[in-house]
Amino acid sequence: MLQTVLMLWLQKLLLPNKQGDPKARWLQEVRRFGQLRRFVVERDDGYLSCIEICNSKTSRAKVAILAHPVSRKGKFYFNEGRRISLYLAQGYDLWLFDFNGFGESDRIDLFYWKDVQAVLQALISQRQPSHVVLHGLSFGSYHMIRAIQALPNQATVVMENTARSFYDYWRRWFLSRNLARLLQLLQPQWYRDMDVMAALKELQRSDLKFACIACENDIFTPADEMEDLLTHLKSPKEFTLFKDAGHMEAPLVNAKLYAETITQAIT
């Protein structure tokens, strides 16, 4: 009971479920890329809000799932367009989803990797895609790691600006740093599930291809910490460092290199 109360309190404190309506703006932005289908994916006692984007009437067999970052500005399904455009140009449809508790989806719990797993299972069931890309950015990249095991054979994983641990990310602010220390002592199950180093150690999938992207001036998910995390990953991987780029700025600083990195990984 104590752990459940603490979990709900932490979620409300760190990730407030603000209901300021972003839909009109981000849907207008995303619609310029192609046809949209809105749907939901059930997960336990709640649902996750999702959209599918495709730029032709014929549904294609390749699909990329994008897992969004933590900020309210950043979480609107990557709608600044660079990543969406890149995947559409390579013949992929996109599935974009809102993590639970972020305002579009129900608030369920702190097992965010289960959100990714639920969306992935729905994709495989509904579409039976020939190739799947799971692309996470910052928060999304971190919380998709434990769900990677559920990917179909020969899938591609794009890990962009990934934190080494829960504490390493939240230590930068006084309140969250002390909360992270408390969680290290209490060790609730959802916190143990956020041990991404252990998850990568357990992953034995030589069929998967990993493209790992870090930014030189990233103060939130430093490149050296991400490199340290990736030492535990035994699957084939490519690590690309973007010079003079801050957190999540890779495609802004060097669009050509970013496009080449993603294209090489997914084709």
Q: Which region among 56-65, 94-103, 104-113 has the lowest average model confidence (pLDDT)?
A: 56-65
pLDDT tens-place string over residues 194-208: 999 999 999 989 999
pLDDT tens-place string over residues 228-259: 999 999 999 999 999 999 999 999 999 999 99
How far is residue 138's CA from residue 141's CA, in Å, rounded to a whole number?
5
pLDDT for 160 beyond 60:
yes
CA 107 from chain center: how many Å? Answer: 17
Assigned token pair, 14: 């760190």
**Domain extent listing, the chain:** 23-266
CB 48 within 8 A of CB 115: yes
| pTM of the model as a whole | 0.89
Transcribe the chain into DSSP letters.
Answer: -HHHHHHHHHHHHHS-------HHHHHHHHHTTSEEEEEEEEETTEEEEEEEEESSSSPPSEEEEEE--SSTTTTTTTTTSHHHHHHHHTT-EEEEE--TTSSSSPP--S-HHHHHHHHHHHHHHHH--SEEEEEEETHHHHHHGGGGGGSPTT-EEEEES--S-HHHHHTTSHHHHHHHHHHHHH--HHHHTT-HHHHHHH---TT-EEEEEEETT-SSS-HHHHHHHHTT--S-EEEEEETT--TT-HHHH-HHHHHHHHHHHH-
What percent of the chain has a predicted confidence (pLDDT) above 90? Answer: 66
CB 63 within 8 A of CB 95: yes
Q: pLDDT confidence of 101, banded at 50, 70, 90? A: confident
23-266: what fold? Rossmann fold (3.40.50)
pLDDT of residue 18: 45
CB 163 within 8 A of CB 154: no
How far is residue 91's CA from residue 63's CA, in Å, rounded to a whole number?
9
pLDDT of residue 20: 43
pLDDT of residue 36: 87
How far is residue 204's CA from residue 206's CA, in Å, rounded to a whole number?
6
pLDDT tens-place string over residues 22-61: 455 667 777 788 888 989 999 999 999 998 998 775 667 8
